[in-house]
């Protein structure tokens, strides 16, 4: 009986093994693959346009990002990189502010001297000079005045405040004003990220996916609110630059309480459904320094917290956002005038390429002013040279 049982056991095992189901590529799978390929091609075209097109360079409102770049074979070469930075600098607010403060004032002064000289020397100017050339000088001055007014009106306030270069005593109210301007700039970097149910369906048992399904059943869109990878990297580099300029020690607390690491900016790649984050900046107290055995009282501590899913309709918009709820503790960077001015200058550079349409208008007004002045000089030379020769 035992032999018969031994013979029948393999047969029973073979019967229990079910044949594997062959993989079948359905029409739905083919459609999704085709859509993914099209989306990838669009992304590559968009990436190449941002990398090489001067039009994209001009309309890009955000500062240059050195970390999140295409692969090396698809990047700009050294000559193109130099052209990119030169073009961006020439189209920036800070570049054209020099026309307002330096070259523009000289242009207006020279124009006034030339007009006064011509008015004082009637034998040199001829009959037609009284109306024709001087009218172009007047129009050029009008364009210049409009350009100055446009700059004062449309230039971002934080950048304009920094370009003024004033080192006066700020006091508590002045530092609060600068903090409000910095938080207003951070409002531009805050964003909303909808939750992708298709990607989350890979792990349907996860808490986040079940929460997203519950939100969807209520007829709402599940989404995160906070700072993404680009904004987080930009903030961390600003803090790192601040630490170098002010010799401030900054530590990072991420995994376990009271375990601090030396703060360095990190390159963080976020998958599709990775939560957006909040920043918490605090000051290390004496007990934390004793338990961690690193740092000292008064050092800064950076913590990032992942946000939870919420109804998209409940999330704030950039218009009614309270930045301090998502970036807490920046007040510690504004305890003295020197530290406040240092961090303000760092953040103000982010605004150098903001409002491209306003910059284009400003450039047009300055060029029109310069063109009118050159045309005035040309017409005046046509009158003066024959008489002098």
CB neighbour list of residue 147: distance below 8 Å, 6 or more residues apart: 99, 100, 104, 362, 365, 366, 369
State which of 90, 122, 143 marks the end of a domain. Answer: 90
For residue 37, what are the domain limits? 26-90
Q: Is residue 241 part of a domain?
A: yes
Q: Is residue 269 part of a domain?
A: yes
- 86 with 167, same domain: the answer is no
- 69 with 217, same domain: the answer is no
When pLDDT is averaged across residues 30-42 and rounded to a whole number, the result is: 81
- 31 with 177, same domain: the answer is no
- 56 with 191, same domain: the answer is no
Is 90 exceeded by the pLDDT of residue 241?
yes
Q: Is residue 382 part of a domain?
A: no
- 70 with 212, same domain: the answer is no
Residue 1: band (very low, low, confident or very high) from pLDDT cuts 50, 70, 90:
very low
Number of domains in the chain: 2
Residue range 343-383, pLDDT digits in tens: 999 999 999 999 999 999 999 999 998 888 888 888 878 87
- 341 with 207, same domain: the answer is yes
Residue 124: band (very low, low, confident or very high) from pLDDT cuts 50, 70, 90:
low
* pTM for this model (two decimals): 0.79
């Amino acid at each position: 009986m035992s032999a018969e049982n031994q013979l029948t056991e393999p047969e029973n095992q073979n019967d229990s093994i079910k044949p594997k189901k062959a993989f079948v590529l359905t029409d739905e799978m083919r459609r999704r693959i085709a859509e993914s390929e099209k989306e990838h091609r669009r992304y590559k075209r968009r990436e190449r346009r941002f990398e090489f097109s001067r039009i994209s360079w001009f309309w890009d409102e955000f500062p240059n990002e050195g970390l999140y770049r295409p692969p090396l074979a698809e990047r700009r070469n050294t000559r193109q990189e130099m052209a990119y930075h030169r073009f961006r600098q020439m189209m920036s607010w800070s570049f054209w502010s020099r026309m307002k403060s330096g070259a523009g004032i000289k242009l207006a002064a020279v124009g006034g001297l030339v007009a006064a000289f011509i008015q004082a020397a009637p034998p040199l100017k001829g009959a037609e000079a009284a109306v024709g050339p001087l009218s172009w000088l007047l129009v050029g001055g009008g364009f210049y005045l409009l350009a100055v007014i446009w700059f004062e009106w449309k230039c971002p306030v934080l950048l304009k405040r920094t370009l003024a270069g004033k080192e006066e005593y700020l006091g508590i109210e002045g530092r609060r004003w600068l903090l409000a301007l910095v938080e207003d700039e951070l409002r531009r970097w805050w964003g909303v990220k909808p939750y992708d149910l298709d990607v989350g369906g890979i792990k349907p048992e996860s808490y986040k996916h079940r929460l997203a399904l519950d939100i969807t059943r209520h007829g709402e869109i599940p989404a995160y609110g906070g700072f993404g990878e680009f904004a987080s990297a930009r903030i961390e580099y600003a803090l790192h630059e601040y630490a170098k300029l002010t010799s401030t020690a900054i530590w990072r607390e991420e995994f376990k309480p009271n375990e601090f690491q030396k703060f360095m900016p990190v390159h963080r790649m976020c998958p599709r459904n990775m939560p957006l984050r909040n920043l918490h900046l605090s000051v290390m107290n004496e007990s934390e320094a004793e338990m961690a055995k690193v740092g000292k009282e008064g050092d800064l501590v950076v913590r990032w917290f992942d946000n939870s899913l919420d109804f998209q309709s409940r999330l704030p918009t950039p218009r009614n956002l309270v930045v301090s709820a998502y970036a807490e503790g920046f007040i510690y960077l504004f305890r003295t005038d020197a530290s406040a001015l240092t961090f303000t200058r760092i953040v103000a550079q982010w605004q150098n390429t903001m409002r491209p349409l306003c910059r284009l208008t400003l450039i047009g007004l300055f060029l029109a002013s310069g063109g009118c002045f050159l045309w005035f000089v040309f017409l005046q030379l046509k009158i003066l040279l024959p008489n002098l020769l």
